[in-house]
Structure 1
Amino acid sequence: MNSKITSISALEILDSRGNPTLRAYVTLDDGTKTSASVPSGASTGLNEALELRDDEKRYNGKGVQKAVENVNKKIATALTGMHAVDQKAIDYTMIELDGTENKSKLGANAILGVSMAVAKAAAVSSNLPLYRYLGGSNTLRIPVPCMNILNGGEHADNSVDFQEFMLVPHGAPNFKEGLRYVAETFHVLKKILKDKGLATSVGDEGGFAPNCASNEIAIEFIIKAIEQAGYQSGKDLSIAIDSAANSFSPNLDDKYDLTKSGAGKMTTDQLIDLSGEWLKKYPIISWEDPLSEGDWDGFSKFTKKFGDKIEVVGDDIFVTNRKYISRGISEKTANSALIKLNQIGSVTETIEAVQMCREAGWRYFLSHRSGETEDTFLADFAVAMDGGHLKAGSACRGERVSKYNRLLEIEHELKGRAEYRWK
């Protein structure tokens, strides 16, 4: 196998929000050529790896020409001649070349684009699908799709404080049917909203973004859609929530401002009490970022109270970084970590974060970003990591549907050997 890297390059492309991002290309001496495109988040944690942007007028300061130049010159020079199958050595060579804690010199977008393209190239050169190359010969589990069906917070200009309300088809027999469950319910919800005279435009991730009278009414619309679609809530389909509490905690601490929806201001304890009321009333099985990234004590209190009933997921508080996940494990801050490749900035470090969760008995939840591309790397990566669930957006917008369609392909390739289960 001739997996030696002969060239690396990058260019500036646009993501799903029309903002620049980076696409990296890797060529091997056996003729293999692959590319990978880097996603970008809107609701971000303070400790995420730095997405390098240009400080100039073009694209309102969001250009990535500096990151592209870093790939074309510094990274290409450092990695040419290395073997693509040496993923860890390649990633840590880039990390050392950058030399900063948050990848601010080269840019996490530059490093990740190359890291992903290298993994793809090694898979092609090895004549293996990407999920099998990264996950091994026993990779069989297709994740349950946690589909974003209604948006609020940073992902929509509406009156809903909480960022994502997701449908989870854990009662389906396989991925193909699970995807059908959520897609059908998505379209039923559209009709319900339309009949109520509410907007059926969608947010960044494809979920509807109506102006609801309260956060709770958003959930009730979803329950109604599940039932009208012919499914049983709590059995066929349940709900996952991403509060993205940073967006309504002005100082990222233990005080919360939910005046956008009319719920007013709350303390940590009041927000936890509200969550408890919802958990009694609604079939919620997963709750992401119920509190802000600075409210570590509140997170632990939430987990102690509800962690035996639901999956409590840390996103902004952990940012796919082993330093923060380790603290969370020690302090029992949550029982699951959201995993986003571009939060940490390399394939190897993302895998290491997953391994840390596994060793602690935690769950881990693979995720897209609000600014996505048509690249399907995430779908293969989610299968390879065997986490059991994935959020990749709604049943519309091509950059979201592309991930689901890739998972349909993988399930088809695996035939009867494919596994599908929530836990």
Structure 2
Amino acid sequence: MTESFRISKARARLIFDSRGDYTVEVELESNGRVARASAPAGKSRGRREVEYYPRNNAAEAVRIFNEIVSPKIVGLDPADQRGFDDTLHEIDGTERFERIGGNTAYAASAAASILASMLREVPIYVHVSEKSGMKPKIPMPLGNVLGGGAHAGEGAPDIQEILVFPTGVEDPLEAVRTNITIHKELGRLLTGLVEGFTRGKGDEGAYAPNMRDDDALAAVKKTVDNINAEGARVRMGVDMASSNLYDPSRGMYIYRRSGLTRTRRQQLEYVVEIVERFGLGYVEDPMAEDDMEGFAELVKQVGGKTLVCGDDLLTTNAKQVSEAAKMKAVNAMIIKPNQVGTLTDTFAAAREAERSNIVKVVSHRSGETCSVFLSHLAVGLGAELIKSGVVGGERIAKANELLRIWEGEKLPLARP
């Protein structure tokens, strides 16, 4: 470890995310270089995720970092990702970062990666690729165009996200443009379909109309069909966020907007039905987070043509991914680094997915910042998909960074 590769200063501060909520930004310095990283926040969270902040207080997390964490990481080599992240675990001393906060740990871990790439004078994704052992490639953008659930207000669909992703494009510029075109065309269609529609959007920039699930799915399908008729190749997907629908006290899935309740068997049948009716190529969290057997049954039924993706089921946890792989419960997984706290832990989950031929989907959260680190993480991990929204400053920033990475070096384009 050379002197130039020692962290000389470390500080945390409060900033705001896209919902106007507090989050943590960590800043690390070395040899005149300054790296910053900030943490996102999800409204729909899996129960196995790390604790975001001690006592759910971002300001307390900042105080703890500046008083306790900072003195212990000054002097560390930011290029030693595992050593840096192990130090964060040692300082915290709990399994779920209950003392310093998982969001703080993630921001610090990401800042170390960014600083190391600056000191080495290599792109961030190159550093991520080397540390993770993955081959870099450009992922396809998976974007939320119509949403409800926890990301929208009353009257919006129960299904949390209706998504689109291109499959027949030759470069990321065309891919991003395709998703944006669908978003724009869908807005025009909804204006004619929904009385009084003001083009209101949810947390991630997706339209949030007053519609039932099936009507919302039909509207997106009509838009996608129209785009495909013009020569594009686009598929639909959904994020059911089923843990938010599931009432464990009743053992039922509650669809409040639709006025329906579904048993476990009915939930399985409904997911298979909409996969068939709407030609879905992607289904995320179709069952509640503890129902790995239900996921496995869906993979048996639709996994040959549809990505059955685990988010709350897996929470970017290598052990959970390994267990799901043994049960053949998923063929795709969400990667959200702040679910697990550090990049080293994130890399372990991604490697487990790759060993089991599970498609990697690097994902934003509903409360985001304008950080572009997620794009480099997705490329460096060789992710097949990046789920980062379609429009909105904090979403488009990540799409634009993909274009810059592509311009710098013509990496292989993922074909999920």
Tell me which interval the TM-score lies in, with the shorter structure as reference length: over 0.9
DSSP 3-state at the match of 2:15: strand
Shift of 1:254: 5.0
Shift of 1:7: 1.1
C-alpha distance in structure 1 between counterparts of 2:333 and 2:134, whole Å? 24
Given the superposition, is the C-alpha separation of residues 253 and 412 from structure 1 closer, same or farther in structure 2, using an over 3 Å criterion?
farther
Aligned residue runs from structure 1 range 295-374, under 5 A: 295-374=291-370
Q: Pick from 164, 187, 193: which aligns with 2:184?
A: 187
DSSP 3-state at the match of 2:253: strand
Q: Is the 8 A contact 2:134 2:380 kept in 1?
A: no
Given the superposition, is the C-alpha separation of residues 271 and 383 from structure 1 closer, same or farther in structure 2, using an over 3 Å criterion?
same
User: 1:116 is matched by which residue type in structure 2?
Assistant: A
Aligned-pair Cα RMSD in Å: 1.9
Given the superposition, is the C-alpha separation of residues 222 and 74 from structure 1 closer, same or farther in structure 2, using an over 3 Å criterion?
same
The aligned counterpart of 2:144 is 148
Q: Residue 411 in 1 paired to residue 413 in 2?
A: no
Shift of 1:330: 2.1
The aligned counterpart of 2:36 is 35
Given the superposition, is the C-alpha separation of residues 253 and 393 from structure 1 closer, same or farther in structure 2, using an over 3 Å criterion?
farther
The aligned counterpart of 1:59 is none
Q: Residue 231 in 1 paired to residue 228 in 2?
A: yes
Shift of 1:63: 4.3
Aligned residue runs from structure 1 range 73-112, under 5 A: 73-112=67-106
Q: Is the 8 A contact 1:159 1:260 kept in 2?
A: yes
Q: Residue 289 in 1 paired to residue 285 in 2?
A: yes
Unaligned runs of at least 5 residues, structure 1:
55-61
Aligned sequence identity (%): 30
The aligned counterpart of 1:57 is none
C-alpha distance in structure 1 between counterparts of 2:299 and 2:411, whole Å? 32
Shift of 1:139: 5.1
Q: Which stretch has the larger CA shift, 404-413 or 218-227?
A: 218-227
DSSP 3-state at the match of 1:348: helix
Shift of 1:419: 2.0
User: 1:117 is matched by which residue type in structure 2?
Assistant: A
Q: Residue 163 in 1 paired to residue 160 in 2?
A: yes
C-alpha distance in structure 2 between counterparts of 1:254 and 1:385, whole Å? 37
The aligned counterpart of 1:58 is none
User: 2:33 is matched by which residue type in structure 1?
Assistant: T
C-alpha distance in structure 1 between counterparts of 2:57 and 2:206, whole Å? 27
C-alpha distance in structure 2 between counterparts of 1:389 and 1:232, whole Å? 24
User: 2:210 is matched by which residue type in structure 1?
Assistant: N
The aligned counterpart of 2:128 is 134
User: 1:300 is matched by which residue type in structure 2?
Assistant: A
Q: Deviations over 1:90-149 (max 9, x none)?
A: 001111211111110111111111111110000000001101111149955211000110
User: 1:154 is matched by which residue type in structure 2?
Assistant: A
The aligned counterpart of 1:221 is 219
The aligned counterpart of 1:400 is 395
Q: Residue 270 in 1 paired to residue 266 in 2?
A: yes
The aligned counterpart of 2:414 is 421
Aligned residue runs from structure 1 range 53-92, under 5 A: 63-92=57-86
Q: Is the 8 A contact 1:319 1:338 kept in 2?
A: yes
User: 2:106 is matched by which residue type in structure 1?
Assistant: L
Q: Deviations over 1:319-342 (max 9, x none)?
A: 111222222122222122211011
User: 1:256 is matched by which residue type in structure 2?
Assistant: Y
Q: Is the 8 A contact 2:146 2:208 kept in 1?
A: yes
Given the superposition, is the C-alpha separation of residues 259 and 49 from structure 1 closer, same or farther in structure 2, using an over 3 Å criterion?
same
Q: Deviations over 1:32-55 (max 9, x none)?
A: 11110110010001110001155x
Q: Deviations over 1:181-237 (max 9, x none)?
A: 11111101101111223341100000000011x211111111222234x42499611
DSSP 3-state at the match of 1:285: strand
DSSP 3-state at the match of 1:276: helix
Shift of 1:407: 0.6
Given the superposition, is the C-alpha separation of residues 234 and 308 from structure 1 closer, same or farther in structure 2, using an over 3 Å criterion?
farther
Q: Is the 8 A contact 2:272 2:298 kept in 1?
A: no
Q: Is the 8 A contact 1:144 1:421 kept in 2?
A: yes
Q: Is the 8 A contact 2:158 2:257 kept in 1?
A: yes
C-alpha distance in structure 1 between counterparts of 2:230 and 2:268, whole Å? 23
Unaligned runs of at least 5 residues, structure 2:
none
Q: Is the 8 A contact 1:143 1:421 kept in 2?
A: yes
Shift of 1:304: 1.9
Shift of 1:359: 1.2
Q: Is the 8 A contact 2:147 2:160 kept in 1?
A: yes
C-alpha distance in structure 1 between counterparts of 2:381 and 2:136, whole Å? 10
Q: Is the 8 A contact 1:254 1:292 kept in 2?
A: no
DSSP 3-state at the match of 2:82: helix
Task: Compute the TM-score of the two structures, normalised by the length of structure 2.
Answer: 0.94
Q: Pick from 170, 174, 178: which aligns with 1:177?
A: 174
C-alpha distance in structure 2 between counterparts of 1:309 and 1:252, whole Å? 34
C-alpha distance in structure 1 between counterparts of 2:216 and 2:14, whole Å? 38
Q: Is the 8 A contact 2:147 2:156 kept in 1?
A: no
Shift of 1:170: 1.2
Shift of 1:168: 0.5
Alignment length, in residue pairs? 409
DSSP 3-state at the match of 1:279: helix
User: 1:399 is matched by which residue type in structure 2?
Assistant: E
C-alpha distance in structure 2 between counterparts of 1:109 and 1:159, whole Å? 29
C-alpha distance in structure 2 between counterparts of 1:144 and 1:174, whole Å? 9
Shift of 1:69: 1.5
User: 2:88 is matched by which residue type in structure 1?
Assistant: M
DSSP 3-state at the match of 1:128: coil
Shift of 1:303: 1.7
